[in-house]
Amino acid sequence: MSKILYAEGVNGTIAILNGGTNLENTIANPLANLSNIHFHSGLDYLRLANYFNVNISFPSRQANTASDTSKGKTYTWYVPTYGVSTYSLGYHNLGYKPVCLLYQNTDGLAGNFPIQQDGLSLRLASLGINNDQVYIVENWVTYQNSLASTVQNFKVLVFKDP
Amino acid sequence: MATTVLSISPNSFTASAGKLVSTTRYIRKSSNPLFYLINGKNMDVSGGGLRYVSATGNIITDNTYNGAFSSVLGTGVKI
């Protein structure tokens, strides 16, 4: 199928379209004609600003117990223990909070995701973004089982605002 | 570049005041992706337990989960 390169000097509109497309309608309504568009200057494309590939070392998280002594006998029971920590992945220095995509191997990661589990103990991670850097937020909880230390690799794509 | 509509040189292609530049990398869908984006529900709770399914189908389940949730393959993308 042929391709059409359309350029309009008056308003700066540029488009690369499939041949045979209704040119006027596709130029004016790109979102309604995406299947015929390879590029349209009216669409907001995510452009890569930075890329980080970082190994994060998470420390061990111990399970804890509480105890009480009554009539000479000691009773011990497990208590839930939890905490939050942050780990920097890198500085993007864009001055605003950019769109970012986080992934491990070929898994894109969204929201909170588990990186370690042992019985009822769980370590979750999520991506944090501020005006200067991207970082990992660790939320962990232990109950009965401790969580061993672990090294996890994260890759982050940081995109410029359109 | 601020007002350049279209520029073609031996080293680069620029369109629409720099909105499209051949030396810049853009994210796009791909059948041979760098990674997969989650495009739907990927966690489930059942029996007091939790199951997480990654975009590529890897499953993490805690001891008390008793459901049968399975997610679908995510959308492949690359830059």
The complex's ipTM works out to 0.78
Q: What is the pLDDT of residue A32?
A: 93
Question: Per-residue pLDDT tens for B18-63?
Answer: 778 888 888 888 989 999 998 888 889 999 888 989 888 888 888 8
Phi-psi region of A122 (alpha: psi -120 to 50; beta: other; left: phi over 0): beta
Cβ contact, residue pair A107, B34, below 8 Å: no
* Contact yes or no for B36 and A119 at CB 8 A: no
Query: What residues of chain B lie within 8 A of the CB of A105, using their CB?
Result: 35, 56
Q: Which of A14, A25, A94 is nearest to B19 (CA)?
A: A14
Please give the Cα distance from B41 to A52 (Å, whole number): 27
Whether residue A106 and residue B64 make contact (CB cut-off 8 A), yes or no, is no
pLDDT surpasses 90 at B71: no
Blockwise average pLDDT, block size 10, chain A, 162 residues: 85 87 90 91 90 97 95 93 96 95 92 89 94 96 96 96 82
Q: What are phi and psi of A26, to 5 degrees?
A: -70, -40
Predicted structure pTM score: 0.83
Q: Do B56 and A106 touch (CB under 8 A)?
A: yes
What pLDDT does residue B2 have?
A: 57
- Chain B contacts of A110, Cβ < 8 Å? 37-38, 42
Contact between residue A151 and residue A56 where contact means Cβ atoms under 8 Å apart: yes
By C-alpha distance, the chain B residue nearest A160 is: B26
Q: In the prediction, which pLDDT does A1 show?
A: 78
Whether the CB-CB separation of A130 and A95 falls below 8 Å is answered with no
| Inter-residue contact A16 to A38 (CB < 8 Å) | yes
pLDDT of residue A45: 87
Burial group, residue A99, by CB count within 10 angstroms (0-12, 13-18, 19+): middle
User: Which residues of B are less than 8 Å from A159 in CB distance?
Assistant: 27
DSSP B36-61: EE--S--EEEETTEEEEE-TT--EEE
